[in-house]
């Protein structure tokens, strides 16, 4: 099953991943630090969460965004209107001439592409000499995705793995190798950490079992008893934390009121999802 079939509902994707993509995107774009007024290509734009962020922060001259899913593109067009040119496209066969863009970006997609090396080579091809090609992805093999507890719990139940097709490419050293093979001359990588916070177990469950993505589709087809078993497995596996925060943490935190839910959770290299409960 390819990405176009897995991720089709833009609104549901926003609950599952779009909100986290924007948080990562802010830091990613600050780190990339390219000039304003450039021509951008967003490869695998999905529902437009990252596209919206780059338009707001980078003052591009033009943005073209492609995705294999018509449904996701429809949501992105509704979100951004005429601010970006959206079209159906394949990351492994970009429908653009050599050197058409100043910057090509791929956000939280590379591990879902059947041939990541081909996608990287295509991004390098359509960027002008001296331009920028870049991607970011959860460190899937290091447990660095908000859905990792579901992956692990399903596998412990003997279910088929629903991890992306190419998890290894999400590792930092694999990313570097990917761009070297694509012919880039100056390569830099970094680890980005963001807080991923859920108010309670139900929010975690409802957000991560929406009927998109491999895990959502698998869970939807499970029997009621199997779903309850999965919920119990997750409750046992996830660390529930009840803690009153007395001030800013030296690590990433999210403050929500007098009884604070917080935890430094997401890390592209090593991530642990925690469910944070306000004490009654």
Mean pLDDT on 162-179: 91
Residues 126 and 223 in one domain: no
Asked whether residue 205 is assigned to any structural domain, the reply reads yes
Could you tell me which of 151, 153, 172 has the C-alpha nearest to residue 163?
A: 151
- Quote the domain boundaries for residue 255: 201-276
- Lowest-pLDDT choice from 41-55, 159-173, 201-215, 234-248: 234-248
SS3 letters for the chain? CCHHHHCCCHHHHHHHHHHHHHHHHHHHHHHHCCCCCCEEEEECCCCCHHHHHHHHHHCCCEEEEEECCHHHHHHHHHHHHHHCEEEECECCECCCCCCCEEEEEEECCHHHCCCHHHHHHHHHHHEEEEEEEEEECCECCCCECCCHHHHHHHHHCCCCCCCCCCHHHHCHHHHHHHHHHCCCCCCCCCCCEECCCECCHHHHHHHHCCCCHHHHHHHHCCCHHHHHHHHHHHHHHCCEECCCCCCCCCCCCCCCCCCCCCCCCEECCCCCCCEECCCC
Residues 10 and 103 in one domain: yes
Residues 27 and 87 in one domain: yes
Asked if 147 and 208 touch (Cβ cutoff 8 Å), the reply is yes
* pLDDT attached to residue 202: 87
Phi, psi (degrees; rounded to nearest 5) at 11: -70, -45
Asked if 210 and 18 touch (Cβ cutoff 8 Å), the reply is no
Residues 137 and 241 in one domain: no
Q: In what order do the strands lie in the sheet with 101-107?
A: 85-88, 62-67, 39-43, 101-107, 127-136
Mean pLDDT on 94-116: 95
* pLDDT attached to residue 278: 26
Total domains present in the chain: 2
Residue 57 has pLDDT above 60, yes or no: yes
Residues 137 and 223 in one domain: no
* pLDDT attached to residue 272: 31
Residues 87 and 224 in one domain: no
CATH number at residue 106: 3.40.50.150
Residues 247, 255: Cα–Cα separation, whole Å: 9
Cα 6 to chain centroid, rounded: 14
User: Which two structure tokens, joined as six digits, stand for 146?
Assistant: 């908000």
Residue 88 has pLDDT above 80, yes or no: yes
Residues 93 and 117 in one domain: yes
199-244 pLDDT tens trace: 788 888 888 887 777 788 889 899 999 999 999 999 888 765 444 3
Residues 20, 58: Cα–Cα separation, whole Å: 19
Residues 108 and 180 in one domain: yes
Asked whether residue 154 is assigned to any structural domain, the reply reads no
* pLDDT attached to residue 262: 28
């Amino acid at each position: 099953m390819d990405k176009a079939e897995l991720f089709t509902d833009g609104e549901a994707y926003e609950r599952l991943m779009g909100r986290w993509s924007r948080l990562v995107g802010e830091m990613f774009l600050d780190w990339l630090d390219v000039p304003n007024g450039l021509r951008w290509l967003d490869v695998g734009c999905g529902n437009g969460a990252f596209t919206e962020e780059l338009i707001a922060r980078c003052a591009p001259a033009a943005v073209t965004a492609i995705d294999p899913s018509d449904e996701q593109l429809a949501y992105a067009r509704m979100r951004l209107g005429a601010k970006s040119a959206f079209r159906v496209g394949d990351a492994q066969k970009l429908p653009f001439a050599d050197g058409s863009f100043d910057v090509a970006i791929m956000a939280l997609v590379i591990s879902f592409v059947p041939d990541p090396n081909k996608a990287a080579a295509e991004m390098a091809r359509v960027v002008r000499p001296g331009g920028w090609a870049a991607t970011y992805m959860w460190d899937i093999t290091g447990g660095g995705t908000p859905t990792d507890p579901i992956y692990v719990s399903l596998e412990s139940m003997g279910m088929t793995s629903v991890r992306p097709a190419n998890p290894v490419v999400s590792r930092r050293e694999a990313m570097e190798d990917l761009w070297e093979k694509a012919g880039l001359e100056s390569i830099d990588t970094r680890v980005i950490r963001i807080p991923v916070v859920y108010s309670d177990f139900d929010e975690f469950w409802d957000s991560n079992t929406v009927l998109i993505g491999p895990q959502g589709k698998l869970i939807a087809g499970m029997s009621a008893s199997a779903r309850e078993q999965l919920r119990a497995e997750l409750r046992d596996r996830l660390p529930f934390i009840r803690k009153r925060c007395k001030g800013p943490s030296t690590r990433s935190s999210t403050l929500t009121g007098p009884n604070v839910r917080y935890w430094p959770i997401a890390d592209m290299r090593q991530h642990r999802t925690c469910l944070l409960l306000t004490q009654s």
